[in-house]
């Protein structure tokens, strides 16, 4: 049967890395696929993910619904891990950047694959800890961590990636206070530096260039090292992150060469013996056919080669190499199912097809002009006979999920499924227009389990307070 899925999958597979049909799922790099690895069309002509009929999932759990494919997520984790073992001679650790999607189930799955977690708030720390991730594998980022968050992180025992002078001084004085107690262990920190490497991605998600709000300016590095050397902090290494949704390999391959000079300087001049180098995340994913990211293995190979060459040339031992992918781990593993409502045709201009969600569950199109692909899950082999624009239900003209997409004739009640929604969708979701946040399920081998409950109308009022004098 020829279905829209074949054409999406064909594109996904052949454009970048030709594979034959017999290729096993787990040799495909999930970040290069438009579809979750287990997506197929079943005998009812419905889309199936993880062995579950998506139309039935919507009947059971309602819509909008985030559908997480466990096989895709575990495969991505394994590919990062295995590629490091294959291409890097030193020790290594993959950390999942949980800002992409922080929830108990996602953290538990990546944790069970041996990954650590990069967190950016006390909320993300709590989620990782409750999901069972060891604090020794939790790394705390952020450019304005509050005193409360820092104290909580120290109590939990995670590593703190220090971003700036204010934070460094705050931590040093917290450590000084605690140093008097018998049970004192020096807080483990890393220093985040701005490496001055530019890359081609959306301006909002570039972080490695010098004019960035993140990290220490390299011009101040000697003063920072001198301060750290005189403190009771245990500084184990340095960190850089240059941006997100990056398709070029060179900028990441260059990080090793930039960081090695600081590694050397810290040891030789300030007696700081660093052991870990964290090169951040940033590998892109395929949202539409024309996106052409390298595979997870190609990315790890390039990064490892850059770090190895730089450290060998500098005569230094290979550091423990950390990387912290978010999008390329979880992005392609999830699809969002919506129910189609009405439509509106503006003659000679366009037809709007409306769905029961929009910018509140996926704010990326309105924020970054991001593009997505979608199918109608209950009529997978129907001809793509119309070009339509998928409009969200929010009171905002810009709430357009997909502009000009080819779909079959649709009717109210059809199930629209948008791919590539695992990263920065749920985590950036809002209650704009007081829409409850959708539910999420994980699917695997024909089983589905709820991982996030749908918010109810009552939930929306949970934090509201009505002062006595305003009550009727």
Q: What is the spatial distance between Cα 407 and Cα 393, in angstroms, rounded to a whole number?
A: 19
Site size toward ligand LLP (CB under 6 A) is: 23
Q: Is 325 a binder of ligand LLP (CB under 6 A)?
A: yes
Q: Is 245 a binder of ligand LLP (CB under 6 A)?
A: yes
In 237-316, which ranges are continuous DSSP H helix? 250-270, 296-313
- Indicate which single residue of 145, 241, 252, 437 sits in contact with ligand LLP (rule: CB under 6 A): 241
Please state the closest distance from residue 280 (CB atom) to ligand LLP, in A: 5
Please state the closest distance from residue 258 (CB atom) to ligand LLP, in A: 16
Q: Is 328 a binder of ligand LLP (CB under 6 A)?
A: yes
Please state the closest distance from residue 252 (CB atom) to ligand LLP, in A: 11
- Indicate which single residue of 36, 50, 135, 282 sits in contact with ligand LLP (rule: CB under 6 A): 282
53/324 with CB nearer ligand LLP: 324
325 is in an annotated binding site: yes
Q: What is the spatial distance between Cα 123 and Cα 125, in angstroms, rounded to a whole number?
A: 5
Please state the closest distance from residue 71 (CB atom) to ligand LLP, in A: 20
Q: What is the spatial distance between Cα 192 and Cα 52, in angstroms, rounded to a whole number?
A: 43
- Indicate which single residue of 30, 50, 237, 326 sits in contact with ligand LLP (rule: CB under 6 A): 326
Please state the closest distance from residue 261 (CB atom) to ligand LLP, in A: 21
- Indicate which single residue of 74, 81, 141, 252 sits in contact with ligand LLP (rule: CB under 6 A): 141
Strands 188-192 and 159-162: parallel
The residues annotated with a catalytic role in the active site are 395
Q: What is the spatial distance between Cα 304 and Cα 86, in angstroms, rounded to a whole number?
A: 10
Please state the closest distance from residue 290 (CB atom) to ligand LLP, in A: 17
202/403 with CB nearer ligand LLP: 202
What three-state secondary structure class fits 182? Answer: coil
342 is in an annotated binding site: no
205/265 with CB nearer ligand LLP: 205
Residue 126 CB partners (closer than 8 Å, separation 6+): none
Strands 350-355 and 439-444: unpaired
DSSP 28: S
What is the DSSP secondary-structure string of 34-60?
A: SS-TT-EE-TTS-EEETTEEHHHHHHH
58/303 with CB nearer ligand LLP: 303
Q: What is the spatial distance between Cα 268 and Cα 349, in angstroms, rounded to a whole number?
A: 67
Asked if residue 64 has a cis previous peptide bond (ω within 30° of 0), the answer is: yes
198 is in an annotated binding site: no
Q: What is the spatial distance between Cα 401 and Cα 93, in angstroms, rounded to a whole number?
A: 36
Q: Is 364 a binder of ligand LLP (CB under 6 A)?
A: yes
**Nearest C-alpha neighbor of 51 from the set 443, 315, 453, 460:** 443
Please state the closest distance from residue 99 (CB atom) to ligand LLP, in A: 6
327 is in an annotated binding site: yes
- Identify any residues that bridge with 49 across adjacent strands, giving them in sequence order: 52
Read off the tokens for 240: 């850089």
Q: Which stretch binds ligand LLP (CB under 6 A): 275-283, 290-298, 334-342, 381-389?
A: 275-283
324 is in an annotated binding site: yes
Q: What is the spatial distance between Cα 162 and Cα 140, in angstroms, rounded to a whole number?
A: 8
Read off the tokens for 84: 């490091």
188 is in an annotated binding site: no
Q: What is the spatial distance between Cα 214 and Cα 61, in angstroms, rounded to a whole number?
A: 40
Q: Is 293 a binder of ligand LLP (CB under 6 A)?
A: no
129/242 with CB nearer ligand LLP: 242
Site for ligand LLP in 93-122 (CB under 6 A): 97, 99-100, 118
280/306 with CB nearer ligand LLP: 280
With contact defined as beta carbons under 8 Å apart, do 247 and 16 qualify? no
Q: Is 9 a binder of ligand LLP (CB under 6 A)?
A: no
State the residues that interact with ligand LLP by CB under 6 A: 97, 99-100, 118, 141, 205, 207, 241, 244-245, 280-283, 324-328, 364, 368, 423-424
Binding site listing for substrate = 327, 364, 368, 396, 424
């Amino acid at each position: 049967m020829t279905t829209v899925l074949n054409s999406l999958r064909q594109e996904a597979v052949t454009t970048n890395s030709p594979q034959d049909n017999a290729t096993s799922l787990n040799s495909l790099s999930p970040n290069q696929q438009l579809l979750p690895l287990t997506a197929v069309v079943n005998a009812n002509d419905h889309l199936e993910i993880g062995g579950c009929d998506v139309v039935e999932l919507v009947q059971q759990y309602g819509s909008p619904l985030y559908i997480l494919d466990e096989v895709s997520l575990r495969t991505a984790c394994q590919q990062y891990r295995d590629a490091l073992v294959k291409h890097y001679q030193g020790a290594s650790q993959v950390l999942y950047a949980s800002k992409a999607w922080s929830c108990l189930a996602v953290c538990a799955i990546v944790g069970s694959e041996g990954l650590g977690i990069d967190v950016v708030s006390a909320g993300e720390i709590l989620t990782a800890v409750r999901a069972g991730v060891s604090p020794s594998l939790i790394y705390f980022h952020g450019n304005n961590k509050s005193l409360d968050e820092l104290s909580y992180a120290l109590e939990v025992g995670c590593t703190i990636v220090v971003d700036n002078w204010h934070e460094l001084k705050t931590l040093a004085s917290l450590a000084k206070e605690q140093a008097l107690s018998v049970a004192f262990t020096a807080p483990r920190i890393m220093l985040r530096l701005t490496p001055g490497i530019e890359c081609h991605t959306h301006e909002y998600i570039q972080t490695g260039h010098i004019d960035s709000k993140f990290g220490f300016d390299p011009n101040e590095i000697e003063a920072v090292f001198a301060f750290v050397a005189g403190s009771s902090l245990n500084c184990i290494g340095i960190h850089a992150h240059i941006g997100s949704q990056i398709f070029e390999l060179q900028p990441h391959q260059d990080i090793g060469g930039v960081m090695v000079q600081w590694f050397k300087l810290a040891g030789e001049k300030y007696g700081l013996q660093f052991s870990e180098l964290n090169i951040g995340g940033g590998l892109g994913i395929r949202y539409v056919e024309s996106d052409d990211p390298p595979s997870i293995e190609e990315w790890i190979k390039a990064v490892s080669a850059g770090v190895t060459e730089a450290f060998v040339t500098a005569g230094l031992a290979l550091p423990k190499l950390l990387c912290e992918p978010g999008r390329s781990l979880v992005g392609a593993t999830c699809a969002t199912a919506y129910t189609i409502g009405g439509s509106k045709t503006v003659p000679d201009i366009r037809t709007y097809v409306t769905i029961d969600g929009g910018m509140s569950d996926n704010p990326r199109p309105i924020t970054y002009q991001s593009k997505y692909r979608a199918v109608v899950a209950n009529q997978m082999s129907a001809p793509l006979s119309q070009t339509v624009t998928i409009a969200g239900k929010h009171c905002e003209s810009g709430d357009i999920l997909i502009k000009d997409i080819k779909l079959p004739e649709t009717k109210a009640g059809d199930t629209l499924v948008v791919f590539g929604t695992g990263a920065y969708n749920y985590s950036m979701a809002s209650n704009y227009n007081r829409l409850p946040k959708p539910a999420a399920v994980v699917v695997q081998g024909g089983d589905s389990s709820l991982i996030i409950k749908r918010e109810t109308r009552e939930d929306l009022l949970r934090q509201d307070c009505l002062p006595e004098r305003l009550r009727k």
